[in-house]
Amino acid sequence: MWRKVWLLVLLILCGLILVDGAPLLRGPAPDSSVWHWPYQLRPLNRWWLPVGMAAIFGGVLWAWLARKLPTWLGLLLLVICQIGMQLSLVYVDASRDFWGVGDVISAEIIDRSLSPTSNGYFWDATQINALPPILRDYPAQMPNFNSEHTRTHPPGFLIFNYQLIHFFADRAIAEPLAQLAYRLRCADLWLIGQSPNVAAALVVWAIVPILAAGVAVPIGYWVGRDPQGQGDVGEAHHARMTAALLATLPSLLLFTSASDQIYVPLTLLVCGGALRFERRGWRNALAVGLLMGLQSFLSVGNAVTAIVVGVLLLQMGFQRKMWLYGILIAVGSLAPWLLFWGIYGVPPWEIVEAGLGQHYELVTTKRAYGTWFVWNIIDLLIFAAPVVVVGALLTARSLADKSAGRGMQVFAGATLGLLLLLNISGSARGEVGRIWLFLFALLAIAAAPKLTKWGIVAPISMLLITLAVGLSWRMMQPVLVVTEPPAMPAWTGAVRDSAPIQLSSAVSLAETSVQVDEETLAVGLLWEAAGSADYPYTAFVHVIDATGQLVAQQDNWPVNGQWPPTCWRRGDEIIDTYQIDLTNLASGRYEIATGMYNAQTLDRLGTVPLGTFER
């Protein structure tokens, strides 16, 4: 009975989200001075993919929790479904239309990864000619970056993206990936003007967070797999529910592709190691410290995991091992910062001070404390799902229930306490996508022992919330200038007797039409595409007098500047029209020519004569 009541409550919540029946769920009112989630119900013709994916996901979850799948196969299917669900939500949220579902999804992910507002690190990395001078003066450089992410964070991701760009220096390796980015942003002169290694690195950076969220599922299974050494009970039940909850966690499914997703597997590895302090010895403690140091070097906010780790360390009691482990964790945590200090001469506290100063200016001064004290809790319930929050609370309060294990109870209490502390402190105001997102995974770990008895109801309820939010709220809004396929009229010109004139391996001129009157030259060009060109060539129609001088012209990308050859695909027919004013021409004989050229170098791809006329 209680499961039916719970599902009814969840369905009511999902209904309110879908119809915007309770706008306050999205955050403060739109006319307030603080941030909220925009409501934007997606077209029904886009719903089929996420709804269908969720149905398949539900079947896999049932088989997994019913133990009808081998461990390796179940985890593999959960990862596949989790990534598939991410991509389906990207599809329904995409702001551009392309030729196929795969193109729509890929284009949206590329847009998000390149946009300074959605991600930012990659964009700033491409603006750097030489990294060492920037790093030696990093605190002073932070306010000058385009993205608020880079302005408020340590240099970890900036270094990663810069090195990733240079990793693809070999053109043979970079070219295949680069062509994908060029094609999906085919009218982006900035990207097309970059070398292939930049475009290839962009594709990899777009994929890495998606994979990180998927990898979190088997790591979570390991974390939940009987960390207290209780045998089959923990392995069979808690670990499977942990994997199911992580695979369906709304915060991991809705924020694709965000760099914050990379924090999740790192955080799970840290906490999994901390839950095993007493079993794995000093090597485990040092590994936990190094991972914590790496996390904080990516984002200072990630250092809050030290609170959870510290509480788990204290549960060992004030014994010699606890002090030794604490020292090893501290050494590991400081290692990346000390290494950076030694190489570039920048003290860690200067980076932290500069980043926190930017964070305070960008977030804290713009978002009222009292407002976000309430809405952080609402966001927590939505993006971690109420069932996970309830499960973590039940685990934390069951101190006498030995089936959950003392360590897991302490872990649940520490995680909930940390979230409460962040909220009270006021440092996390609407920070779902940064400080909060990776902590939701910890709630899923903590909730698993108590949600095991709930069966498939728990992860299915999370999927329902994910669908409702993904179909009706705008989570990711990349601010980029893009070009969509323009509408083209039917071709009405004469059919040529000869074969198409090939200007390049990708571009051919199939048919032409020319009409001249006293005032206007009207030219129609029917281009045929054998694939995407490697540069957005400019098409031209030129009028040349008897002395060979250019006297009238129209130069632009085809289709009135809307559709450059980099956007074309094999088999496309592009109808391109030109209108040239002839009223200022003197009497005489004139030639008409068309073709394409590289606007950057002025090198012509080809020239085709279209005839002559007299005035």
Higher pLDDT among residues 113 and 408, named by residue: 113
Asked whether residue 451 falls in the same domain as residue 588, the answer is no
Measured in degrees and rounded to the nearest 5, phi and psi for residue 516 equal -125, 130
> Sign of the C-alpha dihedral, residues 356, 357, 362, 363?
positive
Q: What is the DSSP string of 404-434?
A: S-HHHHHHHHHHHHHHHHHHHHT--SS-III
Please give the average per-residue pLDDT across 281-291, as a whole number.
88
Taking the C-alpha atoms of residue 171 and residue 151, their distance in angstroms, rounded to an integer, is: 31
pLDDT in tens, 474-489: 888 776 666 667 888 7
Higher pLDDT among residues 493 and 204, named by residue: 204
Please give the average per-residue pLDDT across 155-183, as a whole number.
90
Structural domain includes residue 598: yes
Please report the pLDDT score of residue 558 as a whole number.
Answer: 92
Identify the H or E element spanning 196.
Answer: helix 196-224
Three-state DSSP class for 508?
A: strand
pLDDT in tens, 108-164: 999 889 887 777 899 999 999 999 999 999 999 999 998 888 998 999 999 999 999
Show the CA angle centred on residue 260, arms to residues 208 and 220, nearest 5°. Answer: 80
Order the strands of the 604-614 sheet from edge to edge: 550-556, 538-544, 589-597, 604-614
Structure tokens at 228: 């207290």
Asked whether residue 431 falls in the same domain as residue 521, the answer is no
Structural domain includes residue 459: yes
Judge contact between 47 and 471, C-beta under 8 A.
yes
Looking at residue 367, the DSSP 8-state letter turns out to be: S
> Domains in the chain: how many in total?
2
Selection from 81-85, 366-370, 383-387, 423-427 with the highest mean pLDDT? 81-85
- The yes-or-no verdict on residue 170 having pLDDT over 70 is yes
Judge contact between 458 and 241, C-beta under 8 A.
yes
Q: Going by C-beta distance under 8 Å and a sequence separation of 6 or more, which residues neighbour residue 296?
A: 154, 302, 303, 333, 336, 337
Q: Which of 452, 472, 492 is the last residue of a domain?
A: 472
Measured in degrees and rounded to the nearest 5, phi and psi for residue 342 equal -65, -35
Asked whether residue 79 falls in the same domain as residue 158, the answer is yes
Largest CA distance in the chain: 103
pLDDT in tens, 417-475: 988 888 888 777 665 544 567 789 999 999 998 888 888 999 999 999 999 999 999 88
Judge contact between 162 and 131, C-beta under 8 A.
yes
Taking the C-alpha atoms of residue 143 and residue 155, their distance in angstroms, rounded to an integer, is: 13
Asked whether residue 506 falls in the same domain as residue 463, the answer is no
Please report the pLDDT score of residue 495 as a whole number.
Answer: 62
- The yes-or-no verdict on residue 234 having pLDDT over 50 is no
Structural domain includes residue 478: no
Please report the pLDDT score of residue 149 as a whole number.
Answer: 85
Residue in this structure with the two tokens 């081998």, named with its chain if needed: 70
Structural domain includes residue 21: yes
Q: Would you tell me how many other CB atoms lie within 10 Å of the CB of residue 329?
A: 28
- The pTM score is 0.85
Structural domain includes residue 354: yes
Burial tier of 586 (Cβ tally within 10 Å: 0-12, 13-18, 19+): exposed
Structure tokens at 239: 């670990």
Q: Would you tell me how many other CB atoms lie within 10 Å of the CB of residue 97?
A: 10
Asked whether residue 339 falls in the same domain as residue 400, the answer is yes
Judge contact between 390 and 412, C-beta under 8 A.
no
Judge contact between 109 and 93, C-beta under 8 A.
no
Asked whether residue 454 falls in the same domain as residue 522, the answer is no
Q: Would you tell me how many other CB atoms lie within 10 Å of the CB of residue 310?
A: 13
- The yes-or-no verdict on residue 400 having pLDDT over 50 is no
Q: Looking at residue 557, which CATH number applies to its domain?
A: 2.60.40.2550
Burial tier of 462 (Cβ tally within 10 Å: 0-12, 13-18, 19+): buried
CA distances from 607 to 180, 274, 460, 576 (A): 29, 70, 62, 16
Taking the C-alpha atoms of residue 519 and residue 141, their distance in angstroms, rounded to an integer, is: 58
Q: Would you tell me how many other CB atoms lie within 10 Å of the CB of residue 507?
A: 26
Identify the H or E element spanning 520.
Answer: strand 520-529
Taking the C-alpha atoms of residue 432 and residue 476, their distance in angstroms, rounded to an integer, is: 12
Structural domain includes residue 442: yes
Asked whether residue 466 falls in the same domain as residue 521, the answer is no
Asked whether residue 134 falls in the same domain as residue 272, the answer is yes
Judge contact between 267 and 441, C-beta under 8 A.
yes
Task: Give the type of residue at 215.
Answer: V
pLDDT in tens, 60-82: 999 999 999 999 999 999 999 99
Asked whether residue 462 falls in the same domain as residue 506, the answer is no
Asked whether residue 326 falls in the same domain as residue 186, the answer is yes
CA 470 centroid distance within chain: 14
Q: Of 235-244, 315-324, 388-397, give the lowest mean pLDDT range.
A: 315-324
Taking the C-alpha atoms of residue 266 and residue 269, their distance in angstroms, rounded to an integer, is: 5
Structural domain includes residue 445: yes
Taking the C-alpha atoms of residue 533 and residue 179, their distance in angstroms, rounded to an integer, is: 10
**Which residue in 414, 472, 458, 6 sits closest to 246, CA to CA?**
458
Asked whether residue 467 falls in the same domain as residue 513, the answer is no
- Pairing type for strands 604-614 and 589-597 reads antiparallel
**Mean pLDDT computed over every residue of the chain:** 87
What is the span of the domain harbouring residue 359? Answer: 2-472
Structural domain includes residue 486: no
Taking the C-alpha atoms of residue 322 and residue 557, their distance in angstroms, rounded to an integer, is: 68
Three-state DSSP class for 300?
A: helix
**Which residue in 542, 515, 512 sits closest to 524, CA to CA?**
512
> Sign of the C-alpha dihedral, residues 211, 163, 340, 118?
negative
Taking the C-alpha atoms of residue 503 and residue 6, their distance in angstroms, rounded to an integer, is: 65
Give the relative orientation of helices 437-451 and 386-397 as an angle to the nearest 10 degrees. Answer: 60
Asked whether residue 468 falls in the same domain as residue 548, the answer is no
Three-state DSSP class for 437?
A: helix
pLDDT in tens, 312-322: 888 877 777 88
Please report the pLDDT score of residue 245 as a whole number.
Answer: 96
Please give the average per-residue pLDDT across 361-376, as a whole number.
78
